[in-house]
Structure 1
């Protein structure tokens, strides 16, 4: 937020970067020192997820400076953003993503298959349980093979990774909002124990959950109005 940084992405080093959009499963690291970082974890099936996927255009990474002038970024996400209240930060984040979306080529909005809508609702209500692919494929009246391909095609994540993503996301929300302790979230969202949760979190986000929760200000939900 306050300066540029030097990331390493899939073994390549980049200098003086303001920010980037990165595809899933791409290894990346950076050292921001004392600088404030704004990191957004975007659900692939969401409106923003689809817009960002279009902006990537099949690449592993797209640098924000390719899409927006640094002055434009700083006007939306200014210095001192971390000191603002959560509502003000959420509004700024929303404005940033709306601006990014306008840089994306116009593509038809694909309606999610109704069968997958039922499956996603079922997953959301049963995250504490062991959810089998064959079980939800049957719910969608599809073979396991066909369901697996349709799910990945429409949602943007393989079935198993989507469930992991939802469990981690709900856990973060519950702990950050004070609704649950970390132990309660682990128990309620289908993790074997805290070690399982911590290792899954570290593998997904590159940092252990306690360090993440202690060092981060978390925006729990931001809504985008259709224009």
Structure 2
């Protein structure tokens, strides 16, 4: 992903948002991608099809595609395939409400909010809300908000204290007096991704933070529980369609924002 002006990448607990000029040769990744044009339409080619123009589109997981925004900013939201957001999208698709690969119009209010985020005129705290609003724009309805259960909040706190450790679900469940199965269900329901996927996103965020602080990819990978730099790079590429080395080589052009739990 490259751009002539500063781009912004937000990495949160279960999705990420890249806003900037985007050019990508034929590739695939395991994350769900939702792309939104902030000004003029972008060009994309799915699988072996012809180039087409889009203003907003959902790209399904592992779908081969090429992308060219023509040097202007596009918002690219990446969702975990096991996320609650994607489950809602799949339900809407099965009901005929969303067609993957078809250009979708996006509300002007959301476009303006994304432009402000790209320009650095809105704080990082707005990024999680922007991610939700993009999903809602494609669904055509508001997603339900839930107050976090104190037991889930405690589990998030415990995971946060040991981000490099693979804490067993049984240990977490004991800490909040729940069965492992009940905790797994409650966590996925409230956080939006299973515990193991949440730990992966958190480990990736922490590894990026260490790299930004001067650590090598190998050092960051080992410190955050990955077996080696290749394991970290493969996990990163599955989520974002690019390698961490490529992203970090563009630090002068990309502002990286790391979200909290």
TM-score (norm 1): 0.68
**Cα offset for 1:222?**
7.4
What does the per-residue CA deviation read over 1:33-68, in whole Å, with 9 as the maximum and x for residues that have no partner?
Answer: 763543344689xxxx98x66984734659784332
- Please name the residue that 1:125 is paired with: 161
Which among 91, 105, 122 is matched to residue 58 of structure 1? 91
**Cα offset for 1:164?**
0.5
Matches of residues 26-175 of structure 1 in structure 2 within 5 Å? Answer: 26-28=61-63, 29-32=65-68, 35=71, 36-41=73-78, 56=89, 58-59=91-92, 65-68=104-107, 87-88=120-121, 90=123, 97=130, 100=133, 105-106=141-142, 108-175=144-211
**Cα offset for 1:27?**
2.6
**Cα offset for 1:22?**
6.2
What does the per-residue CA deviation read over 1:180-210, in whole Å, with 9 as the maximum and x for residues that have no partner?
Answer: 4433322321112112111211222222211
User: Unaligned 5+ residue runs, structure 2?
Assistant: 1-37, 94-99
- Please name the residue that 2:240 is paired with: 205
Q: CA RMSD in A?
A: 4.2
**Cα offset for 1:165?**
0.9
Higher helix share: 1
Higher strand share: 2
Cα distance in 2 for partners of 1:53, 1:110 equals: 17
What does the per-residue CA deviation read over 1:141-200, in whole Å, with 9 as the maximum and x for residues that have no partner?
Answer: 111122222221111111111111111122223324x36443332232111211211121
Indicate yes or no: 2:232 matched with 1:193: no
8 A contact 1:133–1:144 mirrored in 2? yes
* Residues 181 and 145 of structure 1, relative CA distance in 2, 3 Å threshold: same
Bigger RCO (CA 8 Å, 6+ sep): 2
